[in-house]
Structure 1
Amino acid sequence: MIIGNLQVAPGEKVNGYLELPTVPERLPAFLIRGETDGPKVLVLGGIHGCEYTSIDAALKIGRSVQAKEIRGTVIVLPIANPASFYARSIYVHPRDQKNLNRVFPGRVDGTDSERLAYWINELCFKEVDYIIDLHGGDMIESLVPFTIYHITENQQLVEDSKKIASLFDINYVVGSTGQVPGSTYGTAAEQGKVAIIAEAGQNGLLDPTDSHRLQEGTKNVLRSIGILAGDIVETASTHLSRFDWYRASSKSLWYSNVMIGQSVAKGDLLGELVDEFGETMEKIYARTSGVILFLVTSLAINVNDPLLAVGE
Structure 2
Amino acid sequence: MNTRWEIGSLGAASGEKIKGYLTLPSIEEKLPAFMINGSEEGPRVLVLGGIHGCEYTSIDAAQKVGTSLEPAYVKGKVIVLPIANPASFYARSIYVHPRDNKNLNRMFPGNQDGTDAERLAYWLNELVFKKVDYIVDLHGGDMIEALVPFSIYHVTKNEKILAASKEMASLFDIEYVIGSSGQVPGSTYGCAAEQGIPAIIAEAGQQGILSEEDSVLLQNGVKNILVSLGVLEGEVRRSDSNYISVFDWYRSDFKGLWYPAVLIGDAVKKGQILGKLTNEFGETVKEIVSDTEGVVLFLVSSLAINDNDPLLAVGA
Contact 1:47 1:100 in 2 (8 A): yes
Separation of aligned partners in 2, 1:290 and 1:154: 28
Quote how far apart the aligned CAs of 1:226 are: 0.4
Q: Does 1:229 align with 2:197?
A: no
Q: Does 1:96 align with 2:100?
A: yes
What is the identity percentage for the equivalent residue pairs of Structure 1 and Structure 2?
A: 66
1:299 to 270, 286, 303: 303
2:207 to 203, 206, 209: 203
Aligned to 2:191: 187
Contact 1:103 1:113 in 2 (8 A): yes
Quote how far apart the aligned CAs of 1:236 are: 1.3
Separation of aligned partners in 1, 2:204 and 2:9: 32
Aligned to 2:57: 53
Separation of aligned partners in 2, 1:252 and 1:213: 36
Aligned to 1:127: 131
Separation of aligned partners in 2, 1:171 and 1:296: 21
Quote how far apart the aligned CAs of 1:155 are: 1.4
Q: Does 1:145 align with 2:166?
A: no
1:243 to 247, 253, 262: 247
Aligned to 1:310: 314
Q: Does 1:166 align with 2:137?
A: no
3-state SS in 1 of match to 2:41: coil
List gaps (5 residues or longer) in structure 2: none
Separation of aligned partners in 2, 1:273 and 1:5: 48
List gaps (5 residues or longer) in structure 1: none
3-state SS in 2 of match to 1:46: coil
Aligned to 2:275: 271
Q: Does 1:18 align with 2:22?
A: yes
Following TM superposition, the consecutive aligned residue runs of length 4 or more in structure 1 with deviations greater than 4 angstroms are none
TM-score, scaled relative to structure 1: 0.99
Separation of aligned partners in 2, 1:164 and 1:44: 15
Q: Does 1:154 align with 2:154?
A: no
Separation of aligned partners in 2, 1:130 and 1:142: 28
Alpha-carbon displacement from aligned partner over 1:218-268 (angstroms, at most 9, x marks no partner): 000000010000011111121111111000011110000000001111100
Contact 1:149 1:176 in 2 (8 A): yes
Structure 2 residue identity aligned to 1:15: K
3-state SS in 2 of match to 1:16: strand
TM-score, scaled relative to structure 2: 0.98
Aligned-residue CA RMSD in angstroms?
0.5
3-state SS in 2 of match to 1:72: strand
3-state SS in 2 of match to 1:84: helix
Structure 1 residue identity aligned to 2:287: K
Q: Does 1:70 align with 2:74?
A: yes
Separation of aligned partners in 2, 1:188 and 1:195: 6
Equivalences, count: 312
Alpha-carbon displacement from aligned partner over 1:199-226 (angstroms, at most 9, x marks no partner): 0000010000000000000000000010
Contact 1:27 1:79 in 2 (8 A): yes
Quote how far apart the aligned CAs of 1:128 are: 0.4
Contact 1:266 1:288 in 2 (8 A): yes
Separation of aligned partners in 1, 2:148 and 2:240: 15
1:286 to 290, 298, 315: 290
Separation of aligned partners in 2, 1:40 and 1:47: 20
Separation of aligned partners in 1, 2:267 and 2:159: 30
